[in-house]
Amino acid sequence: MLTTDFIGLGVAGNFAGHLEQAGEAADFVKVKTENAVQPKAIFPFYVPSQQLSKDEQFLSIYPISNDRLQFPNNADNLQIEPEIALLCDIQYDKTMQETTQETTQKVTALLPTHFAAYNDCSIRRPNARKICEKKNWGENSKGLSTNWIVLDRFTTGSNIDDYHIACFHKRNDVLSEYGIDSPAVGYSYFHQKLLDWIVDKMNHQPAQDPMNNIANLLEQANYPTKAVISIGATRYTEFGEKNFLQIGDISIVAVYNGKQYQHSQIVEMAENGIFAQDISALVQKVI
């Protein structure tokens, strides 16, 4: 289903308390929001273009894996970020610039079709210039389940509303809860409110402070028609907040229907490393 011609975007600060736990709240001090719970920004983690500037060229490297995480060469404070990712169709409206006679395109809508478990694995770099510099350090630096769940719609009462996000860490066969089991409806912005906000950022977000100009990246990628959008990481457990990944560790993110499964059943599946087919599970080994 997924080819390499999509654009990969993430939402920063869409789950209350995550940025503070991750030590990244200070990165967004200058970013103005309309209210306290509004997400901070969107960031690129993959752009299918060979025309990017020198500072952004690393974003053209395809970073997604469904079974492994490549440990970075220049950092050791690596954390799992358990999230839901949406697979969206992008709609554009073409306009002609009178002054230059060039055609530009604005995003008019995002149409989500599927959702899946996602690991926005991140390097904790307090002094990073841009959010994206913590996100893509090469191949196998992101995680995405191959089990995509069809989204019936993205409004209140849709099937995604019943789902939860669980996250685990395994080292030497010892399983620990890494993220707090959280309902999808716990996101600060969700449904059409989230989509409208993302569309606005895709069109108008400036290349300022920790942010990238997404409209410019879309143009350089020749206006991709699909996007994978990770909509925000949940809060950590005390263990997850204080423990970083090491080579040999296993990272687990599971997106499951909370009306069909109890959390204890998900823990048992994580222990065994085998998940039911109707769960979007992502199991990655750090290499």
- Which residues, including other chains, have CB under 8 Å from residue 173's CB and lie 6 or more apart? none
The per-residue pLDDT for 237 is 96
Considering only CA atoms, which of 251, 246, 210, 249 is closest in space to residue 81? Answer: 251
Banded model confidence at residue 199, pLDDT cuts 50, 70, 90: very high
Summarize the confidence of residues 63-80 as an average pLDDT.
Answer: 93
**Residue recorded with tokens 């399983």:** 175
Apex 114 CA angle, 106 and 236, nearest 5 = 95
* Superfamily name with CATH number, domain 7-286: Fumarylacetoacetase-like, C-terminal domain (3.90.850.10)
13: pLDDT confidence band, cut at 50, 70 and 90?
confident
Higher-scoring residue by pLDDT: 156, 76: 156
Backbone angles phi, psi at 115, to 5 degrees: -140, 160
According to the model, what pLDDT value does residue 220 have? 95
Confidence of residue 37 (pLDDT cuts 50, 70, 90): confident
Please, how many CA atoms are within 13 Å of residue 66, restricted to the half-sphere of its CB? 9
Q: What is the pLDDT of residue 240?
A: 95
Q: Which of 280, 279, 250 is nearest to 175 (CA)?
A: 250
Whether residue 196 is predicted with pLDDT greater than 90 in this model: the reply is yes
pLDDT at 36: 72
* 22 Rama sector, left if φ>0, alpha if ψ -120 to 50, beta otherwise: alpha
Lowest mean pLDDT among 123-132, 225-234, 278-287: 123-132
Q: Is the pLDDT of residue 17 over 60?
A: no
pLDDT interval class at 103 (50, 70, 90) = confident
Q: Is the Cβ–Cβ distance between 43 and 228 less than 8 Å?
A: no
Which has the closest alpha carbon to 224: 256, 206, 202, 204?
202
pLDDT digits (tens, 9 = 90+) for 121-150: 999 876 678 999 999 999 999 999 999 999
Confidence check: pLDDT of 184 > 60: yes
Q: What is the rounded distance in angstroms from the CA atom of residue 53 to the CA atom of residue 133?
A: 14
Type and span of the H or E element at 195 = helix 191-204
Say yes or no to pLDDT of 22 above 60.
no
pLDDT exceeds 70 at position 19: no
- State pTM to two decimals: 0.92
pLDDT at 113: 98
Beta strands (DSSP E) in the chain are 7-12, 41-46, 64-65, 68-69, 78-79, 82-96, 103-119, 122-123, 142-144, 149-150, 163-171, 174-183, 226-230, 250-257, 280-286
Calculate what percentage of the chain has a pLDDT beyond 90.
Answer: 80
